[in-house]
Amino acid sequence: MAILGIDEVGRGPLAGPLVVGAVILPEELPDWVEELKDSKKLTFKKRAKLSEVILNEAVATGLGFVSPFELDELGMVAALKLATRRAIEEIQGSSTKCSKIIIDGNINFLAGTKLESITTTLIKGDALIKEISAASIIAKVTRDNYMIELGETYPGYGFEKHMGYGTKAHIDAINQLGLTPEHRLSFEPCKSISGFKRETMAKNTTAVGNRGEEVVVEYLRNNGHRIVGRNFKTKYAEIDVISVKDDKIYFTEVKYRKNADFGGGLAAITPAKLEKMRIGAEIYLKYYPKFKGLQPLLAVSDVQENYVVKDWFVIH
Mean pLDDT confidence for 287-308 = 85
| Cβ atoms of residues 41 and 137 within 8 Å | no
Amino acid at 154: Y
Q: pLDDT tier at 202 (50, 70, 90 boundaries)?
A: very low
Q: pLDDT tier at 268 (50, 70, 90 boundaries)?
A: low
Confirm whether 190 is domain-assigned. no
CA distance 133 to 5: 8
Residue 207 has pLDDT above 70, yes or no: no
Do both 242 and 120 map to the same domain?
no
168 DSSP assignment = H
Do both 222 and 146 map to the same domain?
no
* Residue after which a domain boundary falls, among 124, 151, 178: 151
Confirm whether 192 is domain-assigned. no
For the stretch 229-252, pLDDT in tens is: 888 877 777 899 999 999 999 999
| Predicted pLDDT of residue 212 | 77
Do both 11 and 95 map to the same domain?
yes
Do both 307 and 213 map to the same domain?
yes
| Predicted pLDDT of residue 131 | 95
| Predicted pLDDT of residue 288 | 82
* Residue after which a domain boundary falls, among 151, 167, 183: 151
**Residue 95 is part of a domain; what is its CATH number?**
3.30.420.10
Mean pLDDT confidence for 6-25 = 96
CA distance 126 to 135: 8
Do both 32 and 138 map to the same domain?
yes
| Predicted pLDDT of residue 266 | 56
Confirm whether 121 is domain-assigned. yes
Do both 21 and 145 map to the same domain?
yes
The secondary element (H helix, E strand) that includes residue 2 is strand 2-9
Residue 200, C-beta contacts closer than 8 angstroms, at least 6 positions apart: 73, 74
Confirm whether 185 is domain-assigned. no
Q: Which residues form the domain of 74?
A: 2-151
Say how many domains are in the chain: 2
For the stretch 84-127, pLDDT in tens is: 998 998 887 667 788 899 999 999 999 988 899 999 999 999 89
Residue 46 has pLDDT above 70, yes or no: yes
Amino acid at 36: L
Question: Buried b / exposed e across 210-229, counting CB within 10 Å, b at 16+?
Answer: eebbebbbebbeeeebbbbb
Output the DSSP codes for 41-73. Answer: GS-HHHHHHHHHHHHHHSSEEEEEEE-HHHHHH
Do both 217 and 122 map to the same domain?
no
**Residue 295 is part of a domain; what is its CATH number?**
3.40.1350.10
Do both 127 and 239 map to the same domain?
no
